[in-house]
Amino acid sequence: MGTESKRQQRFAGVIQQDLAEMFQREGKSWAPGAFITVTKVRVTPDLSIARVFLSFLNTNTAKADIDHIRTKTNEIRYKLGGRIKNQARIVPQLEFFLDDTNEYVEHMDKIFEEISKEPRQPEE
């Protein structure tokens, strides 16, 4: 996928903000105990599909939580439609993905920590 148009970026921003508010208010019923963050939203050029990346904090069951949220996609889309009805002609289909950037960063930090603990070899 190439660069996004201003229109796509603006629409993605609207969706991200509204979904973030929804997850803040109702996320506990969709993923109990987890703190859900909408990290990124990417919209197709025709604005018909929104790919939503979610990050989960305070949970060890992120994969199960994202699967549960995927089962609630129609409910979430309906609620989103009520929020953006004055700003969009259509409510895009929602696709939810797990944003594992935090886990990747933690993993890389551990690797660098291990490397820094290893004794240095003298240069010849």
pLDDT in tens, 1-34: 457 789 899 999 999 999 999 988 887 887 777 8
Every domain of the chain and the residues it spans: 6-117
Q: What is the pLDDT of residues 57-80, one digit of tens each?
A: 877 888 888 898 999 999 999 999
Of 107, 90, 87, 106, nearest to 50 (Cα)?
A: 90
CATH class of domain segment(s) 6-117: alpha beta
Distance CA 25, CA 89 (A): 25
Quickly tell me which residue has 């703190």 as its tokens. Answer: 35
Side-by-side strand order, sheet with 35-43: 35-43, 49-57, 93-98
pTM: 0.78
CB 30 within 8 A of CB 68: yes
Cα 106 to chain center, whole Å?
18
